[in-house]
């Protein structure tokens, strides 16, 4: 048993019996946060995103900006 678990048990032994129920509720809540199903669902979602990932060609930012301005404002080169 690790030192941190031993410390936790010592602290639990100091808590009055009528207050232990609150600690049990907190521990059950914490256990619910870290279920295997939850981690499996997260891993599946990440793998799904990885499969969707595509390589983007190099962009000419000046050309993209000019095209955006032309689309939004019409003629971008007003003299």
**pTM, rounded to two decimals:** 0.37
- Given a contact cutoff of 8 angstroms between Cβ atoms, the answer to whether 76 and 69 are in contact is yes
Six token digits for residue 70:
């032309």
pLDDT tens digits for 11-69?
999 999 898 899 888 888 887 666 667 778 888 999 999 999 888 788 888 998 988 98
| Nearest in space to 44 (alpha carbons), one of 56, 55, 36, 34 | 36
Neighbours of 79 (CB within 10 A): 3
- Given a contact cutoff of 8 angstroms between Cβ atoms, the answer to whether 66 and 74 are in contact is no
Six token digits for residue 60:
């000419």
């Amino acid at each position: 048993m690790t030192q941190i678990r031993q410390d936790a048990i010592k602290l639990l032994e100091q808590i009055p019996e009528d207050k232990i129920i609150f600690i049990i509720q907190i521990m059950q809540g914490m256990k619910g946060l870290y279920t295997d199903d939850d981690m499996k669902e997260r891993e599946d979602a990440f793998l799904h995103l990885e499969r969707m990932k595509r390589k983007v060609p190099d962009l000419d930012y000046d050309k993209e900006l000019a095209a955006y301005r032309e689309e939004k404002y019409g003629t971008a080169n007003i003299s």
